[in-house]
């Protein structure tokens, strides 16, 4: 028996690639290791905020986490200009200082190559601010793989809103019933499911520094190699 099929609590994907025309993939936590973002917002920014306000790092972290939660699932959460103004810090500059932590998950490039060989339309769809996107694309060089890269700020809504997907379909012209979306956030997948996106995949290993967390709702993968069939065009569940 394949040891992958012995993992408790995991819903395994079952895909017929002949029935998929378009592949939509998230960036942070899905293609890229979310350790960079977690470390940046939970450790690096609090360190600088504590120096600015002469408070302890723990106090700074407590205050900042509350402010983050207040705008979670909105465009403000990923807006570098918003946070620079709110916190009195140059957030883009701070990101550049630790951009060596930005990394691509294992097997991502192989998956992107597979999608191109299969002649699927391939789009990067992210809530990330355009400033963050620029930093990460420059560091990782994954941009050329995609037919289109769309930031939520172009749509005017976060991906957690079902209306986001209607606007995205209008922009890109895909058939939602023949579209695959991979994301590491259940709220995003739920919104896409509500809209009618046909194939949904949850990325359970968003950070190399955190434990695997399977979805109880959506099929899960740890790595994209699980979506590349060993032979033929189907992946048995």
Q: How far is CA 107 from the centre of its chain?
A: 15
The average confidence (pLDDT) of the chain is: 94
Cβ pair 232, 210 in contact under 8 A:
no
Whole-model pTM? 0.92
Percent of the chain with pLDDT over 70: 95
- Domains annotated on the chain, with CATH: 9-33+103-228 (3.40.50.1000), 35-100 (no CATH)
Distances (CA, A) of 4 to 15, 136, 163, 201, 203: 16, 31, 36, 16, 15
Straight-line distance from the first to the last Cα atom of the chain, in angstroms, rounded to the nearest whole number = 13
pLDDT digits (tens, 9 = 90+) for 117-162: 999 999 999 999 999 999 999 999 999 999 999 999 999 999 999 9
Please count the residues of the chain. Answer: 237
What is the mean pLDDT of the segment spanning 201-230? 96
**pLDDT, average across residues 35-39:** 98
C-alpha to C-alpha distance for 237 and 214, rounded to whole angstroms:
16
Q: What pLDDT was estimated at residue 235? A: 45
């Amino acid at each position: 028996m394949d040891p992958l099929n012995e993992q408790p609590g995991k819903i395994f994907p079952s895909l017929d690639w002949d029935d998929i025309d378009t592949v939509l993939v998230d960036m942070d936590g899905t293609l890229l290791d979310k350790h960079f973002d977690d470390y940046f917002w939970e450790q690096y920014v609090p360190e600088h905020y504590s120096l600015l306000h002469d408070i302890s790092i723990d106090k700074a972290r407590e205050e900042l986490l509350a402010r983050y939660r207040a705008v979670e699932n909105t465009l403000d959460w990923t807006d570098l200009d918003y946070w620079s103004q709110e916190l009195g810090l140059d957030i883009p500059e701070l990101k550049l200082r630790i951009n060596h932590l930005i990394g691509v998950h294992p097997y991502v490039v192989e998956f992107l190559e597979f999608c191109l060989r299969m002649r699927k339309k391939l789009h990067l769809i992210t809530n990330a601010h355009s400033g963050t996107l620029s930093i990460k694309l420059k560091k990782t060089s994954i941009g050329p793989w995609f037919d289109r890269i769309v930031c939520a700020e172009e749509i005017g809504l976060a991906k957690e809103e079902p209306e986001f997907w209607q606007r995205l379909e209008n922009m890109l012209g895909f058939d939602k019933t023949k579209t695959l979306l991979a994301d590491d956030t259940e709220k995003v997948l739920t919104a896409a499911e509500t809209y009618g996106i046909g194939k949904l995949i949850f990325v359970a290993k968003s950070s190399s520094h955190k434990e695997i967390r399977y979805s109880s709702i959506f099929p899960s993968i740890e790595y994209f190699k699980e979506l590349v069939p060993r032979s033929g065009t189907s992946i048995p569940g």
